[in-house]
Structure 1
Amino acid sequence: MSYQPDEYKHVKYLWDDKVADKLDPVENLVYRSNKLGEDQRITNTGGGNTSAKLIEKDPLTGEQVEVLWVKGSGGDLRTSKKENFSSLYSGKLHALDKVYQNYPDKGYKSAGEDRMVGMFTHCNFCLNPRASSIDTPLHSMIAEKHVDHLHPNAVISVASCKDQEKLTQEIWGGKLAYVPWMRPGWEAAKVCEDTYEKNPDIWGILLGQHGHTNWASESKSCYETSLWVIETAARYIEQHDKGDATFGGQKYRSLSDSARDELLRAFLPVARGLISEKVKFIGTLQTDETTLRFVNSVDAQRLAELGTSCPDHFLRTKIKPLYVNFDPQQDNLETLISRFKEGLQQYRADYTAYYESCKRADSPAMRDPSPTVVLIPGVGMIAWGKNKSESRVTAEFYNCAIEVMRGAEAISEYTALPVQEAFDIEYWALEEAKLQRMPKEATLARNVVVVVGAGDGIGKAVAHRVAKEGAHVVCADLKLETAEKTAAELTAVYGQGIGVAGSGISSCGPAIALQVDITNRKSVQEMFTQVIFAYGGIDNVIVTAGVFLAEGADAEQNDKIFDISFGVNVKGGYIVASEAQGIWNKQNLNGAMVLTTSVNAAVSKKGSLAYDTSKAAANHLVRELAVTLSPLVNVNALAPATVVQGSNMFPRDRVISSLAKYDIAFDESESTESLRSKLANFYAQRTLTKKPITPDDQAEAAYLLISGQLSKTTGQVISVDGGLHEAFLR
């Protein structure tokens, strides 16, 4: 009753003896966890836990004691390290059973369940600060050295069937026992302990509506047992797969890629605005074949209404998704928007009724009643979350739910968790405590900030500044490679998932890189389309892109310089604003725009006629746009003086030319940044503060203008020039 490593079809066999045998026991547990977590068919992000009971030396007594090492609360198997595991004295954990038995009954769940979690800290070995999982007692009470508790789609499919107990026996041939649904905790662990003691030959337990737990005396054997459980279930489902008749067969045909993209470009900002009634949400779009097979099916609406089964799923996806009644072959955008509005209103009413009918005397206040998953026939799925990471995981979890329903419907009939049980999980005091412990959201959390010119200089500094405040940053630049570099820098600091156009943009992370030519409307439109597909909409747009070209004696060449200067510095800002306006209007959410002009707009100089006059025009463009985009969007500008550091307007040859012009001593062998520093210090002496102007100075002003702290300020140009008195307004 096992498979050879090369026989697995539905999971990956990743164990490598050459690696595992070199590890100490705790490292081996981490290794097993990582290998299980690498395959999302085995367990979802943040789900499942693994453990090992190991002999350790007590730091106080010097005696050899048994210690339970178990993946802690909030960790992820794929990425967990040793510090993500809690360690507890096994003896002390077992002693807690007497404490649990002394807690009074609350009527719907032992009052001691939630309080027991707080008792785990009294069992910590070596003062390990990692918070213990709610599943800790399950790992403790199974009297085997190694235990895995997982949530694989194939196994949950069986656990979600109406005849799940009978199927458990049939599929695993008596090697898995069955325990009906119980909320995770001490009581559920006691039931599993009793089941194990009564059935000493079993390899594991199927937990109704939840997943499974299995064990072994050695780590590798435990890993292989986990794979055997999942592979066996997946093969059984495969044998009963309904093919084209899955989910009752196809009801709707998908739109073509081009038609779908056209529809979504217009719909997503509207949807984001409507769903962000209380707080803003970030979207993740799924249009893959598996998702479309479900949303296009006959049974999709029925199954969606039933809701998800596994508690790990609906903590993200809520009790059920919003299924939009839309016929992709007959209905149009206006119909989709209308049906979405109707569905959203009904969903919120249903959710409120669900809360009111299920709430307990001590239940937390009702959370936002908006859906986190939206299903649209012919189009796909849109998942929503407070940030990109959360919406991506929500999409992942509903993908798992789809696979669970597919498997359950193939072998039996899908059943969801009872509504009251679902509520008691969603509004569990422990879950609420987790939410309350989360740090306060940063100023720009939930915001999508498009930074045009993010490849270097001021734009790069702005991208880093707004990312620091929690923004999702679109790093756009004429040169894609420089935009990618900035996005990669942000991703390295704030999370994984850099995306670029054409490479799975909807699954990107906190920063994406896009190419754009702001003098070309089609290029700007394509940029914003990619932003919409990545996040669902926009909030703030900051344009730092600009060009400086010095005039000479050639009049014809000067004419070209004028055209380029006004094309980039003025018309470019106008094109970006006019395209962004359509998105802002669809969202109906407040936004902010910042253009970068220059103090040269107010200072007459020789040799920069085209640049200075274009920046003067840009100043007035700001005022015009402030009127045009009001009252929804504030438009302001920052006006730098000569920002030399890191600026593509000051390439090495221009810096050297300026140093020579002002008779500043330098050596040709010096680095470009050293030369720039000399020039910047020279310019600084012209100002009242006598300090060089840096990109970070401009970035601070840009952040301030979109932060909400100046929400009553619009149509203004803020000089960030160190106090250049020639630029004082007269």
Structure 2
Amino acid sequence: MSTRQHPAVEALLERSHRLGADPRNTNYAGGNTSAKGTAPDPVTGGATELLWVKGSGGDLGTLTEGGLAALRLDRLRALKEVYPGLAREDEMVAAFDFCLHGKGGAAPSIDTAMHALVDAAHVDHLHPDSGIALACAADGEKLTRQCFGQSVVWVPWRRPGFQLGLDIAAVKDANPQTVGCVLGGHGITAWGESSEECERNSLYIIRTAEEFLAGHGRPDPFGPPREGCAPLPRDVRRERAAALAPVIRGLASTDRPQVGHFTDSDTVLDFLSRQEHPRLAALGTSCPDHFLRTKVRPLVLDLPGDAPLDDVAARLRELHEDYRAAYRVYYERHATAGSPAMRGADPAIVLVPGVGMFSFGKDKQTARVAGEFYVNAIHVMRGAESVSSYSPIEESEKFRIEYWELEEAKLRRMPAPKPLAARVALVTGGGSGIGRAIARRLAAEGACVVVADRDAEGAAEVADELGGTDRALAVEADVTSEEEIAAAFRSAALAFGGVDLVVNNAGISRSKPLLETTAKDWDVQHRIMARGSFLASREAARVMTAQGMGGDIVYIASKNSVFAGPDNIAYGAAKADQAHQVRLLAAELGGHGIRVNGVNPDGVVRGSGIFAGGWGAQRAAVYGVPEEKLGEFYAQRTLLKREVLPEHVANAVFALTGGELSHTTGLHIPVDAGVAAAFLR
């Protein structure tokens, strides 16, 4: 019988999905579940006892068969006989590989021993806020007895591993009446002889803890309101957040580029408005799942929420220096000769009273999840403070997990980042044609992409295609409007922390002889291409200089910026304006590490929004060819005799921004299949 068909596996996946769908039960990618059962040995045909357990990584709510590790129980249990003791327990993780049943599946996690050694057919290990609140209370053991009586027992803090599995197994054997345990500083574990019983016991622990905290907790565990920390009105705080996000992102990217996420939920704002938030934030998060994503503690601004923005930025820079120095001291205080090198001293969470929380990570999902985990930590602190006092695990224990060799090995297994990872791109005219192709290519190379277009529906379609809110954001923006361009960059700052790469692609063309070209024809093309590019570049420069991370601005100009073609005065002049903007801004912005380059396409007919909007018919009439043959006509007049497509323009944008041309600025790359008259000199 295959794993896919095994009823224990089916029940395990269904239980995992139900538990993982409710954030009250466990946080994203947190916890693991397991089931034991028998299946035929593929060699002998005899019945073999197996353990199926969620492997390293992945999320319970979306767990699939491929996310499970399948192991032989007899071999797992035999590991007790060769266990070398607590000082060498990490060696047991490698031993799990020799217990695997067949190929495929996920790598066994550090919690495998817990599931294997506990004598129950089904086991859940979860990280609910209510359970962690008891686990992180100063008198958590007493509170656990008070909450559950004899049905749930306390297991003192121990780092996840083989010894913890032995501890829990021993506690269960000594207390046969129990349905689970609270793990000090960590979470909960529950068990049952059927999947239904195990799930019922998990929910009993979680809901009973919730009811206990609600029924016994004091109403204001974070204390009275703190002066100057009340939440600002929504529009005001969002505007301040958008202004501060690039500054904070730049600080959080001192060691390596980070993507940002902003949260101003009621939970965050209430916590930051209270008297006790500085004390509690300084204690740091406790559950390993929390602080591995949030760092051991956040950076907290100590100015009133409505302080002048320049003062806030200056104070954040001071606090960031202090944070980095303190983190280095923390590392040096606990590091040993065998510790991994310090990974980085920047905060993952920055708290600004009155405004909200900024969280950071290697990509948008990581940044968002870090923020979600800090919200979990706030719930934990609230629960613990309501019935006792919040008492996280010792700093030395946090360091042992943060710089655990097993954690380091997991990081080494991560795939290499893509060339544009942690970069945020904004593409004007991104809802169709060349802009759509550019957005696709940048996203494929790892960038988060803001798709800006006057056509909101087209922008949304492209953003959805790129992978949704963790990969892309659609904004409606007319590039001729200062207000709409500024709003697009504010949206980018709130969604991703800022902008690193701007592509001025929005364009239009009306092809007419000089005497038929109206002032309106001239004005509309110059407003969109010359003025629009200027406005987008100016806003990009503001954001990029605030970040202090350099950046790229790319203009999609045209062969017509240097080639004098017939019946094309307004379009050619507007493109020439764009081309010179490249040179002017490259000279002005180079001191900030901002590179400005251009791409000169020609003859992009297929997939082009401009050609579809009437330009194709006009140019076909000028050249005396059928409109459907215009692409072929353009190709035949080139040196390479090849038709230019939107994807070829996107390739040039990536070539300029992907890292290989790091010392190039003020350049125009022709993408025209070779037009000698447009050669750059």
What TM-score, normalized by structure 1, do the two folds share? Answer: 0.90
Q: Aligned partners of 2:59, 2:553: CA distance in 1, in Å?
A: 38
User: How far does the alpha carbon of each residue in 1:43-70 deviate from its partner, in whole angstroms, 9 at most, with x for none?
Assistant: 0111111111011111111011111111
1:629 equivalent to 2:586? Answer no
Q: Is the 8 A contact 2:437 2:650 kept in 1?
A: yes
Answering whether residue 603 of structure 2 is matched by residue 603 of structure 1, we say no
Contact 2:65/2:105, CA 8 A, preserved across alignment: no
- CA distance in 1: counterparts of 2:669 and 2:615, whole angstroms: 27
Q: Give the letter aligned to residue 576 of structure 1.
A: A
The farther-off stretch of 579-588 and 333-342 is: 333-342
Matched, 1:290 2:279: no
C-alpha displacement of 1:630? 2.4
Structure 1 residues 660, 520: CA separation in 2 closer, same or farther (over 3 Å shift)?
Answer: closer
SS at match of 1:631: helix
CA contact (8 A) 1:552 1:558 kept: no
Which residue in the other structure is 2:507 paired with? Answer: 546
**Which amino acid is the alignment partner of residue 412 of structure 2?**
Q
Give the whole-Å Cα distance in 2 for the aligned partners of 1:661 and 1:341. 59
Residue 46 of structure 1 aligns with which residue? Answer: 29
Match for residue 387 of structure 1? 363
Amino acid at match of 1:199: N
Q: Which amino acid aligns with 1:311?
A: P
CA distance in 2, matches of 1:369, 1:282: 16
Q: Which amino acid aligns with 1:402?
A: I
Q: Which moved more, 1:164-173 or 1:268-277?
A: 268-277
Please state whether the residue corresponding to 2:188 is helix, strand or coil: strand
Query: Residue in 2 aligned with 1:615?
Result: 575
Could you tell me whether the CA contact under 8 Å between 1:323 and 1:376 is conserved in 2? Answer: yes
For 1:631 and 1:710, locate their aligned partners in 2 and report how far apart those are by CA, in whole Å. 17
CA contact under 8 A between 1:207 and 1:213: conserved in structure 2?
yes
Is 1:171–2:147 an aligned residue pair?
yes
- Aligned partner (choices 628, 642, 656) of residue 691 of structure 1: 642
Q: Aligned runs of 1:255-334 on 2, under 5 Å?
A: 255-329=232-306, 331-334=307-310
For 1:30, give the aligned amino acid.
L
How do residues 119-268 of structure 1 correspond to structure 2 at under 5 angstroms? Answer: 119-243=95-219, 245-251=220-226, 252-268=229-245
Please tell me the root mean square deviation across aligned C-alpha atoms, in Å.
1.7
* Residues 133-165 of structure 1: CA deviation (Å, up to 9, x unaligned): 111111111111111110100000001111111
Give the drift of 1:653. Answer: 5.7
Question: Is 1:702 matched with 2:653?
Answer: yes
Deviates more, 1:171-180 or 1:253-262: 253-262
Equivalent of residue 71 in structure 1, options 29, 54, 67: 54
Percent same amino acid at aligned positions?
A: 41
Kept in 1, the 8 Å contact 2:452–2:477? The answer is yes
**Counterpart AA for 2:300:** Y
Q: CA deviation at 1:291?
A: 0.5
Equivalent residue of 1:182, what SS?
A: coil
Could you list the runs of 5+ residues in structure 1 that have no partner in the other structure? 1-21, 492-497, 499-507, 666-674
Q: Write the letter of the residue equivalent to 1:57.
A: P
Which residue pairs with 1:55 in the alignment? 38
Which stretches in structure 2 are left out of the alignment for 5+ residues?
Answer: none
Alignment match, 1:716: 667
Using the TM superposition, give the Cα deviation of residue 242 of structure 1 relative to its aligned residue in structure 2, in angstroms: 2.8
* Cα 1:116–1:487 shift into 2, 3 Å: same
Q: Which residue of 2 aligns with 1:529?
A: 490
Q: Tell me the residue number matched to 1:645.
A: 606
One-letter amino acid matched to 2:80 = D
Q: Deviations over 1:642-696 (max 9, x none)?
A: 100101111276545655665657xxxxxxxxx75x3212210000000001111
Distance 1:455 1:618 in 2: 21
CA distance in 2, matches of 1:130, 1:575: 49
Shift of 1:327: 1.5
Match of 1:90, as an amino acid? L
What CA distance in whole angstroms lies between the structure 2 residues aligned with 1:186 and 1:383? 33
Shift of 1:249: 2.0
Runs of at least 4 residues off by over 6 Å? none
Q: In 2, distance between residues paired with 1:373 and 1:637?
A: 37
Match of 2:394 among 418, 439, 448: 418
The answer to whether structure 1 residue 374 and structure 2 residue 350 are counterparts is: yes
Is 1:36 the counterpart of 2:19? The answer is yes
Distance across 1 between alignment mates of 2:606 and 2:270: 54
Please state if 1:558 is matched with 2:518.
yes
After the TM superposition, which residues 507-526 of structure 1 pair with which residues of structure 2 at under 5 Å, given as runs? 508-526=469-487
Please give the alpha-carbon distance, in whole angstroms, between the structure 1 residues aligned to 2:574 and 2:614.
23
Between the aligned partners of 1:524 and 1:657, the Cα distance in structure 2 is: 30
Deviation at 1:553, TM superposition (A): 8.4
Deviation for aligned residue 1:554: 7.1
Residue 275 (structure 1) shift: 2.3
**2:98 corresponds to 1:98:** no
For residues 654 and 128 of structure 1, the distance between their equivalents in structure 2, rounded to whole angstroms, comes to 55
Contact 1:168 1:174 in 2 (8 A): no
Q: CA deviation at 1:308?
A: 1.0
Q: Which moved more, 1:265-274 or 1:68-77?
A: 265-274
Does the 8 A contact of 1:551 with 1:558 survive in 2?
no
Counterpart of 1:575?
535
Task: Tell me the distance in 2 between the aligned counterparts of 1:63 and 1:708.
Answer: 57
| Equivalent pair of 2:554/2:653 in contact (CA under 8 Å) | yes
- The question of whether the paired residues in 1 share the 8 Å contact of 2:479 and 2:532 is answered with yes
SS in 2 for 1:360: coil
Displacement after TM superposition at 1:258 (Å): 2.6
Structure 1 CA distance, aligned partners of 2:7 and 2:179?
25
CA distance in 1, matches of 2:514, 2:670: 31
| 2:673 paired with 1:725 | no
Report the Cα distance in structure 2 between the residues aligned to 1:727 and 1:356, rounded to whole angstroms. Answer: 60
Residues 468-489 of structure 1: CA deviation (Å, up to 9, x unaligned):
1111111111111111111111
SS at match of 1:247: coil
Aligned residues: 674
C-alpha displacement at 1:638, in angstroms?
Answer: 0.4
Q: Cα offset for 1:451?
A: 0.9
Quick one: distance in 1 between partners of 2:96 and 2:514?
81
Q: 2 CA distance for matches of 1:337 and 1:553? A: 52
1:552, CA displacement in angstroms? Answer: 5.9
Q: Which residue of 1 aligns with 2:546?
A: 586
